[in-house]
A and B are shown apart, each in its own frame.
Chain A
Amino acid sequence: MIFRFVAAVAMIVLSAACGSKETVVKIAVAVPLTGDMGTEGQGLRRAVELAVEEANAAKRFPYKLVAAPYDDRADPKEAVNVANLIISDPRVVAVVGHYNSGCAIPAAKVYARAPVAMVSPAATNPEVTAQQNSKDWSGPRMVFRVVPTDDVQGSYAAMFAYKKLGKRRMTLLHDKSPYGQGLGEQFKKAFIELGGKIVSEDGISVGDKDFKALLTKIKGDSSKPEGIYFGGLYTEAGLLLKQMRELGLNDPFAFISGDGAKTSGIFDVAGDAAGGAYLSIVGIPVEELPSAATFIDNYKKRWTGSGEELKPFDHFGYEAAQVIFAAMERAGGPDRARVIEELKKTKYTGVLGTTTFDGKGDTLNKIVTMTRATAKDRSFPSVK
């Protein structure tokens, strides 16, 4: 019995000591790969893998690049677990992650101890980068974000609704996540400042399917709202749209949401009902950005057969990887500290437009474009 125990310990020790002998440099992808958010995390993983494969094929670096996946299951304690695992692997040069702000915030503290750069493609809570300025922050600044914090899209949408669509009374809905709620709060603030009125406000939960009751209440609201602004993701947005149409809430009753909803997945969820929805995105319109179109093409080609469509944050994941590659090239080698320094100086033009970071690590790319979902060809042409 004791012998078995000792043997087991020995096995762990030996396997810990022996590693692979080839020169491999890893980009860690720390996202939810399984669990309720697995869908989104797998998309991000695919996007980073595509970037890595392209870099290897073009022989950008004198060593082999690998996208190493780590599953945080959208659970903050798992995120800290994988963060600890990641920093203990010296082959990891930078991290693309996390997806949820609730995971990114505590994980960043761990990465700071190494230090290793963390570039988030989707965590939008301002605290993710703001915490670096707190007196409790121990370590250098190493958090970067290619996705803008929610204040850009929310205020743009408010202006669009008020000036372009002429709406004066809107209903606010959000999914009680840092992303969705943040978007909603910004929309509300800006819309009221412009002179509009938020007739009612409500939160739903991610994973909820049935909004008929809520939509019925909105439809029958005596203050006569002229549209809904929804802060949240495509699944709930799609369900809202589908149920809105079922209840007879069509144009000119507007549905406006953000980039979390702007993905072909919304047509899977809502079908034709998604047509007519106004969805904002960050960056200049895809039609004007050839690199974005190329990315979408390559993604589709690489991942056909898996039946998996592009998710709303995938191009952010791709861009996060590209930004890291650019920093690695400038740093002259896979050195964690140098990569962090070079990331601060990023000025990269890719699928999102031009990305630069401010003093906190937030992206300065705050151009917002409004698109309108078209069911016929599952596209999102820009609306001026």
Chain B
Amino acid sequence: MRQLLRYRWTPWAVLALAAIFPFIAGTIGASYLVRVGGVIGLFMLLGLGLNFTLGYAGLFDLGFIAFYAIGAYTTAIAMRAGVPAPLALVLAVLVTLFVRALLGLTILRLRGDYLAVVTMGFGEIARLSINNLDALTNGPKGLQLAPWRPLSFLSADPNIQYYLMILFAVGLGAIASSRLEDSRVGRAWIAIREDEIAARLSGIPVRQYKLLAFTLSAAYAGLAGGLFAQWEQFVTPESFVFWESILVVSIVVLGGMGSIPGVLVGALVLVGFPPLMQWKLSADWINYRYLFFGLILVLVTLFRPQGILPSSRREAELTS
């Protein structure tokens, strides 16, 4: 697989294949996979987002899904208030950026595992607040959204429409990440992750760059949350539990921290595998799906601790 990545056209080929897939899926009896593909795409966005915080800046975040929730609820509340759908998405991104920046300013001075617990705490605070503030969010009863189907000219199926929109977002996100990675900012992040003190001594404004990475993550989460809300047409706090944050962390680490193809493959494997099992396992075995999932997590970590597609830098670190 690594050899494939060497070719410049590989990402475009994959993108093209992915874009065509939903149109042929129906004919091969795999329309379910279009839905699954969309969900995988959402987690690819989340993974790319968390990659800034965890992969580039090395900050341990256990509450990332809170921003997915904020994006989703902002979109829902905005659309119900009459805001047109594309604007609601923009609003979702702006609100998540804002909240994330505030959070970052407050907590980024904490190191390592203390940061982890605080982010976990914030994730729970967000979810519980959404659940309790009935007047704003309708609490556990959830909020309905009007459908937004801008790609109806391509297909009447909302699964296909959102698959394509999410694919587009993932593409944009991957390109943006890739550009940042190769820029001065990206190199500064790597320097900070490798040796914070040395980086500071080299003149890198560590605090600002950490905050930048931390904040940028949220844009991805907010966008993903907004798309999710519009696709399902319904938001409820049950969609944003702590476990989902852990899943996104696993995607980034298992895929390959700091590696864009790694994160994408990580999402493909971790989010794609359980629904695939639901489809293909017989009725007696579907209860075992998550047992197998746990086994896969352990085995993949044991046999490829650097991640499925680690960045070349990381591979060099961990295998030399």
B278 to chain A, nearest CB (A): 7
A17 to B26, CA, bound (A): 11
Chain A stretch 190-227: residues in CB contact (< 8 A) with chain B: 203
B window 217-249: CB within 8 A of A: 228, 232-234, 236, 238-239, 241
Interface size for B (C-beta < 8 A) is 38
User: Are B233 and A71 interface neighbours, CB within 8 A?
Assistant: no
Q: How far is the CB of A22 from chain B (nearest CB, A)?
A: 15
Chain B residues with CB under 8 Å of A34's CB are 287, 289-290
- Beyond A1-B3, A17-B29, A68-B283, whether A81 also contacts B141 by CB under 8 A is no
What is the minimal beta-carbon distance from A347 to any residue of chain B, in angstroms?
31
Docked-complex contact A176 and B131, CB < 8 angstroms: yes
Q: Which of A75, A100, A105, A177 contacts B234 (CB 8 A)?
A: A105
Given contacts A76-B238, A176-B139, A178-B141, contact A16 B3 (CB under 8 A): no
Q: In whole angstroms, what is the CA distance A278 to B159 when docked?
A: 47
CB-based contact B28/A16 at 8 Å: yes
* 8 Å CB interface, A284-322 against B: none
Inter-chain CA distance A73–B70, complex, in Å, is 22
A76-106 CB contact bits vs B (8 Å, 1 = yes)? 1100111011001000000000001110011
A336 CB → nearest B CB, Å: 17
Partner of A127, one of B30, B39, B141, B232: B141
B155 at the interface (CB under 8 A from A): no
Query: Shortest Cβ distance from A52 into chain B, in angstroms?
Result: 12
A366 in contact (CB, < 8 A): no
In the assembly, what is the distance between CA of A176 and CA of B129, in Å?
12
Q: Are A75 and B140 in contact (CB under 8 A)?
A: no
Interface size of A in residues (CB-CB distance below 8 Å): 41
Contact partner of B286 (CB less than 8 A), chosen from A16, A35, A71, A177, is A71
Contacts of B278 in A (CB 8 A): 70-71, 81-82, 85
A134 located at the interface, meaning its Cβ lies under 8 Å from any Cβ of chain B in the complex:
yes
Q: Which residues of B contact A102 (CB under 8 A)?
A: 140, 142, 236, 238-239
Asked if B280 lies at the interface with its beta carbon under 8 angstroms from chain A, I say yes
**How close is B81's CB to chain A, nearest CB, in angstroms?**
16
Asked whether A106 and B30 contact (CB < 8 A) given A80-B35, A178-B140, the answer is no
A88–B238 contact, CB under 8 A? no
**Which residues from B are CB-within-8-Å of A23?**
none
Residue interface mask B1-39, A partner, CB < 8 A = 1? 101100000000000000000000000111110011001
Let me know if A377 is at the binding interface, CB within 8 A: no
In the complex, the answer to whether B35 meets A176 with C-beta atoms within 8 Å is: no
Closest Cβ neighbor of B290 among chain A residues:
A34
Is A186 at the interface (CB under 8 A from chain B)?
no
A1 touches B4 (CB 8 A): yes
Q: Which of A77, A178, A181 has the most CB of B within 10 A?
A: A77
User: A1-B1, A106-B234, A176-B131 are contacts. A16–B147 as well, Cβ < 8 Å?
Assistant: no
Contact with B along A109-126 (1 / 0, CB 8 A): 100000000000000010
- Asked if B29 contacts A88 (CB within 8 A), the reply is yes
Chain B neighbourhood of A182, CB < 8 A: 141
Nearest chain A CB to B18 CB, angstrom units: 13
**Residues in A neighbouring B301, C-beta threshold 8 A:** none
Report A6-32 residues with CB < 8 Å from chain B CB: 12-13, 15-17
Distance, CA A77 to CA B271, complexed state (A): 12
A82 to B277, CA, bound (A): 12
Q: Within the assembled complex, what's the spacing in Å between the Cα atoms of A138 and B35?
A: 18
In the complex, whether A33 has a CB less than 8 A from a CB of chain B is yes
Task: Judge whether A85 and B159 touch: CB under 8 Å.
Answer: no
- Neighbour of A81 across the interface among B147, B234, B275, B290, CB < 8 A: B275
> Shortest distance in angstroms between B237's beta carbon and chain A's nearest beta carbon?
8
A15 touches B239 (CB 8 A): no
Query: Within 8 Å of chain B (Cβ to Cβ): is A374?
Result: no
Q: Which residues of B contact A69 (CB under 8 A)?
A: 283, 286
Minimum distance in angstroms from A56 CB to a CB of chain B: 15
Chain B residues lying within 8 Å of A17, measured Cβ to Cβ, are: 28-29
List of B residues within 8 angstroms of A138 by Cβ: 147
- B31 to chain A minimum Cβ distance, whole angstroms, is 5
Q: Is A131 an interface residue (CB 8 A)?
A: yes
Q: Nearest CB to that of B275 among chain A residues? A: A81
Residues in chain A near residue B233, CB distance under 8 A: 106, 109, 136
B36: chain A residues at CB < 8 Å are 81
Which residues between 130 and 152 of chain B lie within 8 Å of chain A, taking CB atoms?
A: 131-132, 139-142, 144, 146-147
Closest CB-CB distance, A242 to chain B, in whole Å? 25
> Are A181 and B139 in contact, CB atoms less than 8 angstroms apart?
yes
Please name 13 further chain A to chain B contacts, defined as beta carbons within 8 Å, in addition to the given A77-B228, A85-B275, A127-B141, sorted by A numbering. Answer: A1-B3, A1-B4, A17-B28, A34-B287, A34-B290, A69-B286, A71-B278, A77-B239, A81-B278, A105-B142, A134-B144, A176-B139, A176-B140
11 CB-based A-B contacts, threshold 8 Å: A17-B28, A69-B286, A71-B286, A76-B232, A77-B239, A80-B232, A109-B234, A134-B144, A136-B144, A178-B140, A181-B141
A-binding residues in B (CB < 8 A): 1, 3-4, 28-32, 35-36, 39, 131-132, 139-142, 144, 146-147, 159, 228, 232-234, 236, 238-239, 241, 275, 278-280, 283, 286-287, 289-290
